[in-house]
Structure 1
């Protein structure tokens, strides 16, 4: 398992480096259009990129399923759990992961019926119940999709970041990444635990050898619920931004200019394949989610934009 995890980590680092080389050569080719050596280099890096994506897909498929442990702490949590509570927690946890995974891939919440398809893809299921304290073991499919990314893996990474974020500003930024529906489902799960006076500890040994951990007490549940509940009712707006591409960042942003206005549209790594079709100077029309924040001291509005992809 460790050997496989180390290989996945190495492949992901190699893929990140190759992506940087591709972006560099694209920029150079914009400066020197038609230069054969640059075209050849870009083609070589693109081929290597596809090879690495395939290797990474195979490596993650070899793991197939990954286990997430939700440990419940409380007077009645002695290795058993009421079925009604189990059903509610499992449904809310699955909803949070499925919504986050969909939003990471598309930048927008799912239309009616589409969440079921994502739930089938991540295939989250209760795989065990450990005794001592109540430990719920959830297994899910971490095999990557056609872009080389694992929907469940990406969703879990972001959910741990949200739960562990120390400030409202950081949480607000992460909510734009996983979406309001995922945030609401996660907040509702924490609310269910708080209402029952149950503490929680969430642990996930990720395929890249990193062990994610959050919580360990009822106070951790109350604190996270208090912070997340503020963002349950955010109402982002779907907009279309048209203009000329002025900059493309491999780190996750595309800039366009329209007249005297300049817009920064951020995207998730799960949307990187979609961004590759664009180049500097192209006329584009991007669909994006607009998130507005108001500074109470200056009464000024600040807007951020997240890319929407099909």
Structure 2
């Protein structure tokens, strides 16, 4: 059902609840009327929350998290819940910092990043192991949504294979990837699996974190070592610019892909296809222990 239908239905329920509440206040000794007022008020609140979740889902602001397993029978220990959800929330915030500024946070994510994401525990479905989390998908001054960029890259990493894994890790940053690994360890320790779903601007994204899938992603994350980083200047002709934060530069050595942070989107937008560009980038050299080769990833620092 659409949020418009639900919103109208919520208004109707609230109107009935207000009317019954008014009658109940005038008849304090009528037990059945008091009970009806209480039940109608609860139904109106429930529908109002359902409307809020439906609107958040339509705006790409709702993340549906389901914890699954023998211990996830509608109630799990608070410590187990915090050990799983806590690192996941940290991973999102650190990834958002990396995406906005092009570098890992020195400590925690910047206050403006946390404020822009505005993550909230929006509700629990029947049983405390089905959690709804909302955020803020509104675009910033660059026209990009930090929340959507963060979730896009998170789902990309979770569903990545070996060939694109290092690019996915480089997008969210090493600190975010580490916290994602802690999240996986928390799931293992609690004996839980997990399912994520999110209605993005490009369609429904999901990740089914069954035990074998958790093991696969953990194994990939465990191969990641701190990359060697250095600054270099690259020159060439602009071959392409995408709205996913990628710039392609054609150099004498071949085409090079460079990721740019959201904060300098305006600088990148001034570049023109086929025009000459001189870019200062931070290059990260990863060692792929599976393929036994170096993997180079570049982040744009500035356009000269």
Query: TM over 0.5, yes or no?
Result: yes
Given that 1:200 and 1:220 are in contact with CA atoms closer than 8 Å, whether structure 2 keeps it comes out as no
Is 2:107 the counterpart of 1:115?
no
Equivalent in 131, 134, 138 of residue 129 of structure 2: 134
The TM-score with structure 1 as length reference comes to 0.68
Q: How many pairs does the alignment contain? A: 247
Answer yes or no: is the 8 Å Cα contact 1:264–1:304 preserved in 2: no
1:214 Cα deviation from its structure 2 partner: 0.8
Contact 2:104/2:173, CA 8 A, preserved across alignment: yes
Question: Structure 1: how far apart are the matches of 2:56 and 2:127?
Answer: 33
CA gap 1:300/1:66 in 2 versus in 1, 3 angstroms: closer
Give yes or no for the alignment of 1:81 onto 2:76.
yes
Retained in 2: the 8 A contact 1:106–1:309? no
Q: Does 1:183 align with 2:177?
A: yes
Aligned mates of 1:202, 1:248 — CA distance in 2: 35
Q: 5 Å matches for 1:184-263? A: 184-206=178-200, 208=201, 210-231=203-224, 233-241=225-233, 244-251=235-242, 252-255=246-249
Structure 1 or 2, whichever has the larger Rg, is 2
Give me the whole-angstrom Cα distance separating, in 1, the residues matched to 2:101 and 2:131.
30
Distance 2:215 2:175 in 1: 20
Q: Would you say the 8 A contact 2:125–2:131 is kept in 1?
A: yes
Cα distance in 2 between the residues matched to 1:228 and 1:295: 11
**Higher RCO by CA contacts (8 Å cutoff, separation 6 or greater):** 1
| Counterpart secondary structure, 2:135 | strand
Uncovered stretches (5+) of structure 2, i.e. residues with no partner? 5-54
- Contact 1:288–1:308 (8 Å) recurs in 2: yes
Given candidates 162, 169, 177, the residue that maps to 2:163 is 169
Structural RMSD (CA)? 3.3
Query: Which residue of structure 1 lines up, in the alignment, with residue 154 of structure 2?
Result: 159
Q: Which runs of at least 4 in structure 1 moved beyond 6 Å after TM superposition?
A: 1-4, 60-65, 260-263
1:254-273 alignment to 2 at 5 Å?
Answer: 254-255=248-249, 264-268=256-260, 270=262, 271-273=264-266
Q: How far 1:241 moved relative to its partner?
A: 1.6
List per-residue Cα deviations over 1:9-41 (Å, max 9, x = no partner): xxxxxxxxxxxxxxxxxxxxxxxxxxxxxxxxx
Shift of 1:87: 2.4
* C-alpha distance 100-83 of structure 1, shift in aligned 2 (>3 A): same
Q: How far apart are residue 151 of structure 1 and its match?
A: 0.6
Q: Secondary structure at the match of 1:250?
A: strand
Q: CA deviation at 1:292?
A: 3.5
Assess if the C-alpha contact under 8 Å between 1:100 and 1:182 holds in 2.
yes
Aligned match of 1:98: 93
CA contact (8 A) 2:95 2:150 kept: yes
In 2, distance between residues paired with 1:268 and 1:285?
11
